[in-house]
Amino acid sequence: MSMPEVKPEIVFIFELLNEVRAGKLRIPKFQRSYVWRRQQMTELLDSINLQYPIGSLLVWETEEQVSSHNRIGPLTVPAVTSGLAAHVLDGQQRLSTLTGVLMASSDSSNDRDDDEDPGRWRVWFNIRENNFEHSKSSDAEPEPWHFPMWKLLDTVSFLEESQRILKDNGDNGASYVKKVQDLLQRFQSYKVPVIRIKNTGLNQAVEIFARLNSKGQPMSADEMVSALSYREDQTSKPLSEHISDILDALDGYGFGKIDRVIILRALLAILKEDIYRTDWTRFTDNKRSELKDKLPAAVGKTQAALVRSAEFLHSLGVYNHRLLPYAMQLVVLSVFFEACQAPTSEQRKFLERWFWVSSFTSWFASGNPSRWERLLKEFREHVANDPNPMLLENMRFDEPAQAFPKVFDMRSARARTLLLVVLAQQPRNIQGQVIENPWESISEHGPLAIGYISANVKDRSLASSPANRMLRLDTNERSQAKNWLITLGNNTENDALILKSHAIPVEALPCLRNGDAVEFLKRRLDYLVQLERDFMGQKGVIPPLDREVRPAAIDTE
């Protein structure tokens, strides 16, 4: 038995691109598609320009015929006929960026019908500002001091652009050309660490990678399982593409940007597998083979169950991933809706109560995967089969809710749960009309969609309190909300409706109008605490033991 060879080396960027051009450096099909945003692309180029490290590439070299994508970035690469080829296990986003930006031409011949943003590959170096930019629109003309990056490494094109810059920039022309020459030198001399794994199969290559990378950023769980479950003779898509398809389906329900690992966990939960395996490379060969056989059939079931879960969450007012207190709630729901596709009204009531109890009590904040696994099993075997479920063995419904959060921070599940209560009041605009789909603003802008009522509050605890935050009527308008709140009267039915819809007590408004923001926020805080307690009563949640506000945990699940 031959021993695997792991060979680290340092190569120039242009050498990597030459391998791509020759079809010797490829992206295997089990890798997910290109996902980087434009800002990430320009940040990579900026790091190279500043001579900062961009991390290593890890490739698996083999003479085996491995299915791979026929494009890297927008560039078509030649097919491999025979001989050694290198397949990227880690670093495909960086390699695709460099290939697309430095090798794609400026015409439309490289555009793809399935490329959601073909313009991202057209990057210019702004000589005057010394940064990298995308064109603001596809038909916008670049400025004279813009250098097209796709011409940097082509000698003839580089000289032509240098002449143009010299001619079009007057007295600055010579200094601008010098800056571009320096840019070329930095890119030509930049070296990238490459770790090449040889004399081994794919599974062992992935194991080696996991161990090499154990002290750095590990391969994500979905990438690991995708690689380990891939087989060359399979006719279906690799797992990574299935996960992307599921996310596309969930996008129409507001959950398309949820972490890919959550989709993997839902899939594995439906397969009754361990959803929290920390070292996937330690799967036995028999178990890997079994998983490979089960995956294709489970994908469709998982997608359908997740869609039903998203529809159920909509019925609760949870319209996107930013409002979901815990991503694991989606996994639990998917297990239920896979096992029970037509729940009774009593089962739906039970699910609703479970959702609010688990949200207000921060049940998933414990970080205890073993009890989460037990809960999944109970939902699959008991809740899904009982037309009138009442209680759970693995989660108590009589646990009191966590205290009202002291600070508004959307990274906290407790704060997101409070936000759901506020949105349930159906916020209105200044004309008194109910704001349509306010969650869309939160989905797009995140915390920026929730603005401050008063920017200058002497009491620091009140300044950061949820009492000082409310939905922005216009995310382009970043001024404090009190500017429009004080224009409201407090004796008209319409103005009272507006205030109530934002969880503001009518009697507190005069304080704000008189410049006493502290007293206003105290009264609104009391109002919010009571509003939440009333909401909990309606949903079958035990309120906190007292009305004190306390810090809430920043949740990662």
pLDDT in tens, 108-124: 444 555 577 888 999 99
Q: What is the pTM of this model?
A: 0.74
Average pLDDT, the chain: 87
- What is the DSSP secondary structure assignment for residue 150, as one 8-state letter? G
Is the same domain home to 117 and 158? yes
pLDDT at residue 225, rounded to an integer: 67
Full domain range(s) for residue 265: 220-385
In this structure, the answer to whether residues 75 and 174 fall within a common structural domain is yes
Question: Is 395 a member of any domain?
Answer: no
Report residue 148's pLDDT band, with 50, 70 and 90 as the boundaries.
very high
The last residue of one of the domains, among 162, 197, 232, is 197
In a domain, 538, yes or no: yes
Domain stop point among 353, 385, 417: 385
Strand partners, 549: 404
Domain contains 205: no
Q: Is the pLDDT of residue 4 over 70?
A: yes
Mean pLDDT is lowest, of 75-84, 154-163, 218-227, 308-317, for 218-227
pLDDT digits (tens, 9 = 90+) for 435-493: 999 999 999 999 999 999 998 898 989 999 999 999 999 888 888 999 999 988 756 88
Closest residue by Cα to residue 143 from 153, 133, 151: 133
Backbone angles phi, psi at 60, to 5 degrees: -110, 115
Residues 185 and 116 placed together within one structural domain of the fold: yes
> Would you say residue 410 has pLDDT above 60?
yes
Rounded distance between C-alpha atoms, residue 414 and residue 3, angstroms: 52
Residue 292 sits in the same domain as residue 352: yes
Q: Does 471 reside within a domain?
A: yes
Instruction: Tell me: do 235 and 352 sit in the same domain.
Output: yes
445 lies in some domain:
yes
Mean pLDDT highest for which of 103-117, 392-406, 466-480, 543-557?
A: 392-406
Q: Is 270 in the same domain as 168?
A: no
Indicate whether 343 and 419 sit together in one domain.
no
pLDDT at 280 over 60: no
Confidence class of residue 282 from pLDDT cuts 50, 70 and 90? low
User: Is 188 in contact with 12 (CB distance < 8 Å)?
Assistant: yes
The span from the CA of 32 to the CA of 19, in Å, is 21
- Using only C-alpha atoms, the chain has a radius of gyration, in whole angstroms, of 28
Q: Tell me what pLDDT residue 213 has.
A: 53
**What is the model's pLDDT at position 236?**
61
The model's confidence at residue 44, banded by pLDDT at 50, 70 and 90, is very high
Residue 106's pLDDT is 45
What's the pLDDT band for 525 if we cut at 50, 70, 90?
very high
Under the banding of pLDDT at 50, 70 and 90, the label for residue 214 is very low
pLDDT band at 384 (very low <50, low <70, confident <90, very high): very high
What percent of the chain stands above pLDDT 70? Answer: 86
**Is 142 strand, coil or helix?**
coil
Task: Check whether residue 343 and residue 451 sit in a common domain.
Answer: no
Q: Are residues 162 and 265 in the same domain?
A: no
Same domain, 366 and 465: no
Where a domain ends, among 197, 230, 258?
A: 197
The answer to whether 41 and 120 have CB atoms below 8 angstroms apart is: yes
Query: How many folded domains does the chain comprise?
Result: 3
pLDDT of 371 > 70? The answer is yes
pLDDT at 314: 97
CA angle (82, 84, 87) in 5-degree steps: 110
Query: Same domain for 165 and 241?
Result: no
For residue 211, tell me if it sits in a domain. Answer: no
Both 114 and 162 in one domain: the answer is: yes
